[in-house]
Chain A
Amino acid sequence: MDYPTITSITEMELDLDALIARVTLPSTGAAAIFSGIVRGMTERGKAHETSFLDYEAYQPMAEAKMRQVAKEIRTRWPSVEGIAIVQRVGRLYPQTPTVLIICTAAHRDTGVFDAARYAIDRLKEIVPIWKKEVGPDGEFWVEGEYIPQSGE
């Protein structure tokens, strides 16, 4: 019953195959995967181009909050087996994966899709990571909308 939980912040290239292997158990039959990618051309809202994103994290709080997200997932979806949440930081260019989320389970109908969705949504709420967007029209820090409450 010792399920793997991997949470980390890295400057290295994200390796999907290696990460899947680390959250796959003999009993695993499904892995729901989400990856965020640097979008070079944005259509939604004000259309614009992006040259690169500069990511920064407040460590070690960021890693602690990632572990908290994993804990919340285990409470909500007890059938989830492995959980991986890995955020890449530094300067990242369009079409580059920035974050990898993997939730594994015995079967696909156990909530793994919802769990992976929850992980990325929650990461964007409570994990102290920021990105500065740089494009041909200038640069700005992207700001989330969520204000975490005490105890979160």
Chain B
Amino acid sequence: MLKELLVTKYPKMSSTQKSIITVVNSEYAADELLIPLDAKIAFFPPVSGG
């Protein structure tokens, strides 16, 4: 839901929506996760370290 909201607000992101990774409190989150109160949320692209 939050991801959908993000894409609605920033339509340019819709082309990359599938590769937007959602993190809630430093853990990878499924799209259907219920976000806890005061959660710290991060969105980022697939990682590329090394």
If the complex has contacts A143-B19, A143-B45, are A151 and B28 also in contact, measured as CB distance less than 8 A? yes
| Chain B positions 20 through 50: 1 when the CB is less than 8 Å from some CB of chain A, otherwise 0 | 0101001111100100000000101111111
Interface flag for A136 (CB, 8 Å): no
Contacts of A148 in B (CB 8 A): 21, 28
| Chain A positions 141 through 152: 1 when the CB is less than 8 Å from some CB of chain B, otherwise 0 | 111111111111
Measured CA separation A55–B47 after assembly (Å): 11
Are B45 and A98 in contact (CB-based, < 8 A)? no
Among A58, A98, A152, the residue within 8 A (CB) of B42 is A58
Are B48 and A61 in contact (CB-based, < 8 A)? no
Among A36, A60, A120, A130, the residue within 8 A (CB) of B47 is A130
Are B26 and A60 in contact (CB-based, < 8 A)? yes
**A152 to B, closest residue via Cβ:** B28
If the complex has contacts A148-B21, A148-B28, A150-B33, are A58 and B44 also in contact, measured as CB distance less than 8 A? yes
**B25 to A, closest residue via Cβ:** A61
Measured CA separation A63–B8 after assembly (Å): 33
If the complex has contacts A60-B26, A61-B23, A152-B28, are A147 and B46 also in contact, measured as CB distance less than 8 A? yes
Measured CA separation A82–B36 after assembly (Å): 37
Determine which residue in B18, B21, B30 has the highest number of CB atoms from chain A within 10 A of its CB, and name it: B21
Are B21 and A123 in contact (CB-based, < 8 A)? no
Determine which residue in B18, B27, B29 has the highest number of CB atoms from chain A within 10 A of its CB, and name it: B27
Residues of B within 8 A of A (CB): 18-19, 21, 23, 26-30, 33, 42, 44-50
Residues of A within 8 A of B (CB): 36, 55, 57-58, 60-62, 64, 87, 98-99, 120, 123-131, 141-152
